[in-house]
Structure 1
Amino acid sequence: VCFRFCRFEMHLGILGSILQWERVFCPSEPLYQTYRASVITKEIRRQTVSPSSTTGNGGLRSSPVPSPGQSTLWQDLQKVRDSGVLEQLSPELCKYQESMFEVVTSETSYLRSLRVLTDHFMDNRELEKTLIIRDKKTLFSNVLRVREVSERFLKDLEERVFEELVFPDICDIIHYHAQHNFPAYIDYVRNQIFQEKIFTKLMKDNVQFAAVISRLQESPQCQRLPFMSFLLLPFQRITRIKMLIENILKRTKEGTNEEQTASKALASVSKIIDECNTQVGKMKQTEELIHISKTLEFDKLKAIPIISQSRYLEKKGELQEMSKGGTLFNSRLKFNSVYLFLFNDLLLITIKKSSERFVVVDHTHRSLVQVEAVADSGNSSSPLEHCFNLTMLENHQGREFERLLKAPSQSDMHRWMAAFPNPTNPDGNEDEVIYEDWGEN
């Protein structure tokens, strides 16, 4: 109980400090979803220098105080305006200050939107009544942790800005948080595919949930922005931070400590984004494996597990297989449809039972498959056009098994053959054909 109270007390301390910052420095920051439009307006204001806005020393005087809904400029801060420091700084140094200050204002805007997500949506009692615990956990993921990370980050940024009017650097703060706190973004982004899926399902099947969400979206504090736009905020934010660092780095002097710190911050944030993308890819692969697994039937075969963290689908598609009644010497060959699922480590031969059901008739490890084109595969007048032999060196029964398969086109045949070793050309160095389109047409 003491631990929870201390944590709550610490949270209130951080929140109180941030609220003071917003009230004094950034009272007009918009919600993060509308922040980009505000940034464009800000950039126009920053680049528009009227005669009354310049000084004899080449510095910049502050522009008029921003109207509500516009993002705050560093030069618009009252303390900066009153200090006379703008008359002493070159335009380049002013732009450097603005590039750093944008990290602060955009984080303020982002946190404001996060609060709408947590306070207005997640903590809404009516909405909570429409959700079971599992669905709520999936829908909101670790957003409270993400919000806490943002609060701590903004607090440290705020303290740096409070220290002195012209702050030399903030990239050391970004670098620290990227190493110690930003990994929370990875956990959030990893679950994003399931967030979107459960939200779509709830909106379709849960009438009460859909009604409450629609009403909450119409609230003034939401600014009529869709609920989904709030769920997507964290990944948008972490990618935006990278862009902001790049802008800062562009304005730092070469060979300075500031340049070195900005480079470190950029590398650490880029690492977080790369891991986010990796995790998104893995979760999509897992989701695809789950879907495929549900469509498969092992009727007369012993079922094998399809879902694996290291497995992913590379290619799937329908081919024609020469039936047992047909022979190579028969001018009227008989072919039956088969559907292949090729994973990075596994090949499944199935028969399509319906649009969403497949009966597995054979399988083998991918490395135990060899392919070879039939002699007349390129002859348009031959019944063996687009045909190739697929040999399983060890099928599900542990036996060698050969299949004669026919592809819809010559290019399709080459795509399938390129996926397996060729017994006459195991290294695939001769007459290698590279195809950009690897998936099913």
Structure 2
Amino acid sequence: MSMFEVLTSEASYLRSLNVLIEHFMESRELDETLIVREKKILFSNVLKVKEVSERFLMDLEDRVEENIIITDVCDIIYAHSRHHFPVYIDYVRNQVFQEKTYSELLEKNPQFHAALCRLQDLPQCHRLPFMSFLLLPFQRITRIKMLIENILKRTEEGSEMEQNATNALDSVSKIIQECNREVGRMKQTEELIHIAQKIVFDKIKAVPIVSQNRFLEKQGELSEVLQKGSLFGIKPTKFSPVYFFLFNDFLLITQKKSSDKYVVVDHAHRSLVQVQSCPTIESSFFLTLLENHQGKMCERLFKASTQSDLHRWVAAFPNLNDDSLSGSDTIYEDWDCPQVQCIEPYSASQADELNLEPVDIINVLKKTSEGWYEGIRLSDGKKGWFPSLYVQEITNEHVRRRNLRERHRVLQAARQIQLNRFGEPRKKTGSA
């Protein structure tokens, strides 16, 4: 029966946690091979995890003492998931660094490796590797969710037990979702730290690479086409290798200095980068930085290694056409969205709408052609819809970048008119 299994499996899990703590963490032999920082990362907050498990098991055992036939445990799970289980999120948050530290210790610390092997061979471990004990907490919270699902299947529809099981499942599922998000965030942070260590700002003012909401989307080698113009179009004179780091909000153009160092030659906010295929040179595209690191607009020509690679790079950047000028809905990324302030109170008439007060500031994620906005209120993070008549746009970086894109669009249109009237003008000799 799944209800009784919640208790028995928790008891088994707690015994395994005690092996991790008493056999490994408190081992003097292992302790002598570690520095304080390594030990802290390796064992994380496992003592708090153990305390939570002990408290949970105690409440489950009390329920059995009340009646040997267990009628419900989901009310207990729900209470603990709200007040105690978030400790699992803290444990999982550290998991990326935990795994990295463990791998480095095995590779670079022979004393640690030898001590660990001796401990793993002892009967207390039941031939289980050390890493399997480190993974116990996340496996446990996942197992609890599965047990709740089995209990829910057997509850009577409309009963109190069904409601308790539903509440418990929803609460535990949210913890698991947050655990998964934390793993993703930590992996992204680890990747950014690794990239930051490889980036060199030589003659360019340094900008921070590691940011809470930043993540790498694409990287790769391209060739910059140094060119000169002629009556017959663009003529390549030289190909210079470059390396792109494209983040969700930022582009770094670098040149490889050594096997693990890259010197930055230019950078721009992603919303200020636009591309257009070059028809005269195979697998090539023009890349326009509407505002580069010098605050200037510049155009460069790059060649991809294959036609497929070209399509993927071109697709990674915004189109030259400004979608906000069309009649369709406009969707913004959270790293480049307009910001508005309420100028008149608005009372929501639907469940998916926001109540607005004049002090409210909202990040706009979507605009419809009917004059409705969807956004996130900064004060509490609540998301919802509201009419545009009740707000006023605030001038921020998004507005400034949008004005730059609009200016570039007008210049491009004027240039196209000139080409249509007089034919393509002769380009100056030199690099783009």
Q: Which residue of 1 aligns with 2:282?
A: 385
Q: Report the TM-score, using the length of structure 1 for normalisation.
A: 0.71
Query: Per-residue displacement from partner, 1:59-82 (whole Å, max 9, x unpaired)?
Result: xxxxxxxxxxxxxxxxxxxxxxxx
Partner residue of 2:272 out of 362, 368, 372: 368
On the 8 A contact 2:4/2:70 being kept in 1, the answer is: no
Q: Which residue of 1 aligns with 2:427?
A: none
- Contact 2:227–2:237 (Cα < 8 Å) also in 1: no
1:404 matched to 2:308? The reply is: no
The SS at the match of 1:225 is: coil
Matched residues in 2 for 1:326 and 1:212: separation?
68
Q: 1:196 to 1:237 in 2, by over 3 A?
A: same
Deviation at 1:400, TM superposition (A): 0.4
Native 8 Å contact 1:349 1:361 kept in 2: yes
Q: Which runs of 5+ in 1 are unaligned?
A: 1-97, 377-383, 430-441
Q: Shift of the alpha carbon at 1:425?
A: 5.8
Residue number in structure 1 paired with 2:330? none
Of 218, 227, 230, 2:130 maps to: 227
Distance 1:111 1:117 in 2: 10
Q: Matches of 1:302 and 1:308 in 2, distance apart?
A: 17
Distance 2:125 2:57 in 1: 22
Give the 5 Å matches for 1:32-431. 98-323=1-226, 329=233, 331=235, 333-376=237-280, 384-424=281-321, 426=323
Are the counterparts in 2 of residues 171 and 265 from structure 1 also a CA contact under 8 Å?
A: yes
Higher mean C-alpha displacement, 116-125 vs 364-373: 364-373
Amino acid at match of 1:258: M
1:24 alignment partner in structure 2:
none
Does the residue aligned with 1:362 lie in a helix, a strand or coil? strand
Q: 1:418 is matched by which residue type in structure 2? A: A
CA displacement 1:257-290 (0-9 Å, x = unmatched)? 1001000000000010011011111000000000
Kindly tell me: are residues 409 and 425 of structure 1, through their superposed partners in 2, closer, same or farther at Cα, counting changes over 3 Å? farther
The aligned counterpart of 1:75 is: none
Contact 1:422 1:428 in 2 (8 A): no
CA RMSD of aligned residues (A): 1.7
| d(CA) in 1 for partners of 2:234, 2:72 | 80
Task: Report the number of matched residues.
Answer: 325
Return the structure number with greater strand share: 2
Secondary structure in structure 1 of the residue aligned to 2:233: coil
| Aligned-residue identity in percent | 65
State the Cα deviation string for residues 239-258 of structure 1 (Å, max 9, x = none).
11101100110111111110
Q: Which amino acid counterpart does residue 362 of structure 1 have in structure 2?
A: D
Task: Report if the CA contact (8 A) 1:189-1:279 is conserved.
Answer: yes
More helix by share: 1
Contact 2:222/2:303, CA 8 A, preserved across alignment: yes
Alignment partner, residue 44 of structure 1: none
Cα distance in 1 for partners of 2:222, 2:49 equals 48
- Indicate conservation of the 8 Å contact 2:34/2:112, yes or no: yes
8 A Cα contact 2:225 2:236, kept in partner: no
> Amino acid of the residue matched to residue 338 of structure 1?
V
Report Cα offsets for 1:369-414 as digits up to 9, x if no partner: 11111234xxxxxxx1121111001100111010111122223222
Structure 1 counterpart of 2:248, one-letter code: N
1:79-138: CA deviation from partner (whole Å, max 9, x where unpaired): xxxxxxxxxxxxxxxxxxx11111111111111110000000001111111111111111
**Alignment partner, residue 35 of structure 1:** none
- Counterpart AA for 2:133: F
How much does 1:354 deviate? 2.5
- SS of aligned partner of 1:239: helix
Partner Cα distance (2:178, 2:101) in 1: 23
Task: After TM superposition, give the deviation of residue 334 of structure 1 in Å.
Answer: 2.4
Inter-partner Cα distance in structure 2 for 1:355 and 1:204: 22
1:135 and 1:145 map into 2 onto residues whose CA distance is 18
Other structure's SS at 1:397 match: coil
- Residues in 1 aligned to 2:46 and 2:115: alpha-carbon distance in whole angstroms: 20
In structure 2, how many angstroms separate the alpha carbons of the residues matched to 1:212 and 1:407? 51
Counterpart Cα distance in 1 of 2:325 and 2:161: 50
Contact 1:371 1:422 in 2 (8 A): yes
**1:326 shift after superposition:** 7.8
Tell whether the 8 Å contact from 2:228 to 2:234 is kept in structure 1 after alignment. no
How far 1:161 moved relative to its partner?
Answer: 1.2
Q: 2:121 and 2:89 mapped to 1: Cα distance?
A: 31
User: Which deviations, in whole Å up to 9, do the C-alpha atoms of 1:20-40 show, x marking residues without a partner?
Assistant: xxxxxxxxxxxxxxxxxxxxx
Letter in 1 for 2:269: H
Aligned to 1:204, the other structure's residue is in SS state: helix
1:351 maps to a residue whose letter is Q
